[in-house]
């Protein structure tokens, strides 16, 4: 029996889909059988950044409506045979799926997969509710910006009300230069406000955008972002992995602190 995790944020554009794709790849690299479900019905994206757009025949709605079997709608990744995508319907809207249908689908997915990653739509309306309904655990993604943190806080409150007492937190797009100039919230400040467990910190990197446009998750490129995602995947498997000192940036001091394990 696998675990279903919803990747959510409240605010749009903080990197939910990017996190879902790269976590999927990182978990698959570790040999886990992973399904990624695009819950953004009507505004699907995950297929594009996975580079699987042209393979879609059936989608989430077809499965739920009984138009096809789950097996037929799951698309195997080009790079990993243990990573699958269940795409969202592009021509339907979010009201086409109920929480109960989602719970049933997730139960079926968890029977077959180690991890089911649900890429939640932005917002806190029906699409959010339905995504959360199917999940056992939640990952909240935010960036170190006040407005994103505010929305993350709201979402954590809603998750708590839905019975997810201990969501995980991923802070995305941390910019060491702004932190050093006191122009950005620090990781610790974000954690203090949100008061939930930190799963990982991901630095800002142009290659993330490039990789999304190329349909190749950035984990496959290597570098610090890839490192961060691989660490997160290992933490999800229960390993104790120290946080990357992302805020230090590169440079001598950063490297030194890294060696000493501060971060």
Partner 1 sequence: MRDPGRPGDSPREILLHLPDGQDFSRALEALDRQLSGADPMDVVVDIGTRKLSTRELLRLEEAISRHGSRLLRVTESPSRKGGSTLRIVGSSGSRHREVVEEESQRPSEDFERTLLHKGVLRAGQMIKYGGNVVILGDVNPGAEVIAGGDVVVVGTVRGLIHAGARGNSAAIVVALRLDPVQLRIGRHFSRRPEDGPTEEGGPEMAWVQDGRIVVEEYRSDVRRR
Interface residues toward partner 1, by CB under 8 A = 99-100, 124-126, 128-130, 132-133, 146, 149-151, 153-154, 156-158, 160-163, 192-193, 195
DSSP string for 189-250: HHHHHH-SEEEEEEE--HHHHHHHHHT--GGGG-SHHHHHHHHHHHHHTT---PPP-GGG-S
d(CA 116, CA 107): 10
Instruction: Find the helix or strand (DSSP H, E) in which 89 lies.
Output: none
What is the closest distance, in whole angstroms, from the C-beta atom of residue 58 to partner 1 in the complex?
A: 26
Nearer to partner 1, 10 or 200 (CB): 10
Within 10 angstroms of residue 34's Cβ, the number of other Cβ atoms is 26
What is the closest distance, in whole angstroms, from the C-beta atom of residue 154 to partner 1 in the complex?
A: 4
d(CA 9, CA 12): 7
What is the closest distance, in whole angstroms, from the C-beta atom of residue 157 to partner 1 in the complex?
A: 4
What is the closest distance, in whole angstroms, from the C-beta atom of residue 122 to partner 1 in the complex?
A: 15
Nearer to partner 1, 23 or 190 (CB): 190
Nearer to partner 1, 90 or 99 (CB): 99
Nearer to partner 1, 18 or 139 (CB): 139
């Amino acid at each position: 029996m696998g675990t279903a995790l919803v990747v959510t944020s409240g605010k749009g554009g903080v990197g939910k889909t990017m996190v879902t794709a790269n976590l999927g790849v990182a978990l698959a690299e570790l040999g886990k059988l992973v399904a990624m479900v695009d819950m953004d019905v009507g505004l699907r994206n995950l297929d594009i950044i996975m580079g699987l757009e042209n393979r879609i025949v059936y989608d989430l709605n077809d499965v739920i409506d009984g138009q096809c079997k789950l097996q037929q709608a799951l698309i195997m990744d080009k790079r990993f045979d243990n990573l699958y995508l269940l795409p969202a319907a592009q021509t339907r809207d979010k009201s086409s799926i109920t929480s109960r249908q989602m719970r049933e689908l997730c139960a079926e997915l968890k029977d077959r997969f180690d991890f089911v990653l649900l890429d939640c739509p932005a917002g806190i309306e029906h699409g959010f509710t339905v995504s959360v309904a199917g999940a056992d655990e939640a990952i909240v993604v935010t960036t170190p910006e006040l407005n994103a943190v505010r929305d993350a806080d709201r979402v954590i409150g809603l998750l708590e009300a839905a019975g997810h007492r201990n969501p995980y937190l991923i802070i995305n797009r941390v910019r060491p230069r702004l932190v050093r100039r006191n122009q950005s919230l620090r990781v610790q400040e974000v954690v203090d406000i949100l008061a939930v467990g930190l799963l990982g910190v991901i630095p800002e990197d142009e290659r993330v955008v490039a990789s999304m446009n190329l349909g190749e998750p950035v984990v496959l490129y290597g570098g610090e972002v890839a490192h961060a995602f691989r660490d997160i995947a290992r933490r999800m498997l229960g390993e104790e992995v120290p946080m990357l000192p992302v805020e230090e940036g590169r440079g001598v001091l950063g490297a030194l602190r890294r060696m000493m394990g501060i971060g």
